[in-house]
Amino acid sequence: MTDLPPEDPAVLDPDDQQVLDELAEALSSHRDVEPRHREAARSAFTWRTVDSELMELTYDSLDAPVTVRSAIDALPRALSFASGFGTLDVELDGDRVRGHIVPAAVATVVMSNAAGATLGTESDEDGMFDFPGSLPGPVRFSIEGEGAGTTPWVTL
């Protein structure tokens, strides 16, 4: 045992107090982001995917009217996406996903889901592609290469 009295935890060493005071001053002086920095950050974020244009969903067969005698589950689902570069048509038939790039081009088509899983395939010279399966949850399709584009998220 020692004969020294216990130190009061409320009393700081003068050097420690000086460091804490300088830290408090540094943090309080820059609470707001300067407008020019905020604008630069927004601009950088906007241009992060400039090479991959967002394609617009222009047709979904689930939105089409169904006749009285048709069974909607028996029909393949068709989706069409458009951009300034062309269109991407996708057909879902069970677990099979196939599609067509217009104008026809050899490209890599990637299907990805929100969990980060991906499936990739190559289109042929006619722009046709086929995935052997599907992914769970919402997915999006990306065309890589000439006429690159990315679709919005859709639930299959």
Q: Is the pTM of this model over 0.75?
A: no
Lay out the sheet containing 86-93: strands in order across.
Answer: 56-60, 77-83, 86-93, 96-102, 128-131
**pLDDT score recorded for residue 91:** 96
**pLDDT score recorded for residue 103:** 93
% of the chain at pLDDT higher than 90: 41
**pLDDT score recorded for residue 9:** 58
CA dihedral 114, 120, 124, 128 (to 10 degrees): -30
Residues of the chain with pLDDT under 70: 1-11, 29-31, 46-52, 66-74
**pLDDT score recorded for residue 39:** 81
Which phi and psi (to 5°) does residue 39 adopt? -65, -40
